């Protein structure tokens, strides 16, 4: 059973870069069929997909955030990371890392494993 755990600063100043890391255990991040994802949830609100990385090298980002987001993988540490630049108060949210599985015969993917989430507050 794969487990994910987010880590990083809980407070970021406006205009700075938010950086989070997700450590994966119980499975290899190098698995070619999985999408390693970041999803956020504004306080009391719904879920917003930020992006994911596939096969360790192919990132996909939400167009609404694309100009500010970078997702990368460190296979040696079995971790993947999120960087979100030029943050504002609107980026205050709970950030989740998640795995999306994409069975070959399904043509689809779904988020089957999630980290516990980490609250990031953007404030001076």
Interacting residues toward other proteins by CB under 8 A? 46-49, 60, 62-64, 96, 98, 100, 106-112, 114-117
Residue placing its CB nearer to other proteins in the complex, 16 or 41: 41
Residue placing its CB nearer to other proteins in the complex, 74 or 110: 110
Nearest approach, Cβ of residue 39 and other proteins (Å): 8
Nearest approach, Cβ of residue 95 and other proteins (Å): 11
Q: Exposure of 124 by Cβ count < 10 A (0-12 exposed, 13-18 middle, 19+ buried)?
A: exposed
Residue placing its CB nearer to other proteins in the complex, 32 or 46: 46
Nearest approach, Cβ of residue 74 and other proteins (Å): 22
Nearest approach, Cβ of residue 115 and other proteins (Å): 7
Residue placing its CB nearer to other proteins in the complex, 18 or 115: 115
Which residues, in sequence order, are bridge partners of residue 93?
Answer: 120
Q: How far is CA 59 from CA 8, 49, 55, in A?
A: 21, 13, 9
**Cα distance between residue 47 and residue 3, in whole Å:** 20
**Cα distance between residue 19 and residue 120, in whole Å:** 10
Cβ neighbours, 10 Å, residue 8: 15
């Amino acid at each position: 059973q794969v487990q994910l755990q987010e880590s990083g600063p809980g407070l970021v100043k406006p205009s700075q870069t938010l950086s989070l890391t997700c450590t994966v255990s119980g499975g290899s991040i190098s698995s070619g069929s999985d999408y390693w994802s970041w999803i956020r949830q504004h306080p009391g609100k719904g879920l917003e997909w930020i992006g994911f990385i596939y096969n360790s090298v192919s990132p996909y980002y939400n167009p609404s955030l694309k100009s500010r987001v970078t997702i990368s993988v460190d296979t040696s540490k079995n971790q993947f990371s999120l960087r979100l630049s030029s943050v504002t108060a609107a980026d205050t949210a709970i950030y989740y890392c998640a795995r999306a599985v994409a069975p070959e015969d399904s043509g689809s993917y779904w988020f089957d494993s999630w980290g516990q989430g980490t609250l990031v507050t953007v404030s001076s």
